[in-house]
Amino acid sequence: MQLTQIKQITGTLVLKTGLHIGGGDTEMHIGGLDNQVVKNPLDGMPYIPGSSLKGKIRSLLEWKLGQVLASEGKPFSFKQITPEEIDAPAGDLLRLFGGAPDKDTDEKVKKIGPTRLAFWDCSLNKTWKEAVLDTRHLLATEAKSENTINRISGTADNPRFTERVIAGAQFDFRLTLKVHDGEDLLPLILQGLKLLELDSLGGSGSRGYGKVGFENLEVDSLNIQSEFDSLQPFAQAM
């Protein structure tokens, strides 16, 4: 097994609706927000953690490939993959995202090899920030109020305020793909990105949060946006 190339997958991640990825702030403030978003401590601007992207895209691909039950809801790993699946899409899933190896899976690990895909944190796009936030004197986040409605009385119970990155915000998106022996794992990556567009990122997706889109996608400066836009992940299942 030989490393033959490292590809850069870049683009712009655009928020179609407000996004909430929690920042884990344990400090309570009187009159403050209940759930704050993760922010860069150096400039106070929100960003999208690479770990959030990796976890969601991996989960969606596991559902798409029918591997969720095999791992009992945990991330699909070397323990669950069968020898027959190593050269199938399930094996490519582990090639991209890695697994949880142990001494009982050494042979599988040798055949599949190291993790190929690296996700990077997505910073707020500088050009968008200057053109929208700085020019219009806007904030990058908003406070979204929510209530639980009593079904009998019709009154609002338990009001709470969630911080969201505003719709329209743009982030710099980048992945790094290590290629071994000329393999082609790009189609599975693009399928994962398309599944994310069809679903949601972050919390409260069932309430309209986290709708995202990818624009200006390139692989090593070669534009692949039209190819990506034409993808239909479930076309064969229809």
**What mean pLDDT do residues 106-113 have?**
88
Instruction: Give yes or no for residue 238 having a pLDDT over 70.
Output: no
Across 180-200, b (16+ Cβ under 10 Å) vs e yields eeebebeebbbbbbbbbbebb
Element (H, E) at 176: strand 170-180
Residue 11 is assigned to a structural domain of this protein? yes
pTM of the model: 0.88
Residue, of 101 and 50, whose pLDDT is higher: 50
Residue 44 is assigned to a structural domain of this protein? yes
Would you say 198 and 232 are in contact if contact means Cβ atoms under 8 Å apart?
A: no
Residue 238 is assigned to a structural domain of this protein? no
Residue 25 burial (10 A CB sphere; 0-12, 13-18, 19+) = middle
Phi/psi at 177 (5° precision)? -120, 120
Residue 128 is assigned to a structural domain of this protein? yes
Would you say 117 and 174 are in contact if contact means Cβ atoms under 8 Å apart?
A: no
Q: Confidence band (pLDDT; 50, 70, 90) for 156?
A: low
Which residues, listed in sequence order, are joined to residue 8 by a DSSP beta bridge?
Answer: 176
> Which domain covers residue 47, as residue numbers?
3-26+33-232
Residues 4-49 pLDDT 10s: 999 999 999 999 999 999 876 544 444 445 688 999 999 999 999 9
Residues 44-81 pLDDT 10s: 999 999 999 999 999 999 999 998 888 778 888 888 88
Residue 151 is assigned to a structural domain of this protein? yes
Residues 161-220 pLDDT 10s: 789 999 999 999 999 999 999 999 999 999 999 999 999 999 889 889 999 999 999 999
Instruction: Give yes or no for residue 90 having a pLDDT over 70.
Output: yes
Output the pLDDT for position 186.
96
Residue 76 is assigned to a structural domain of this protein? yes
Read off the DSSP letter of residue 109: H
Instruction: Show Cβ contacts of residue 133 under 8 Å, excluding neighbours closer than 6 positions.
Output: 139, 140
Output the pLDDT for position 32.
47
CA 123 – CA 169 distance, rounded (Å): 11
Instruction: Give yes or no for residue 2 having a pLDDT over 70.
Output: yes
Residue 102 is assigned to a structural domain of this protein? yes
Residue 237 is assigned to a structural domain of this protein? no
Domain count, the chain: 1
Instruction: Give yes or no for residue 133 having a pLDDT over 70.
Output: yes
Residue 59 burial (10 A CB sphere; 0-12, 13-18, 19+) = middle
Output the pLDDT for position 216.
97
Output the pLDDT for position 62.
94
Instruction: Show Cβ contacts of residue 186 under 8 Å, excluding neighbours closer than 6 positions.
Output: 7, 9, 177, 219
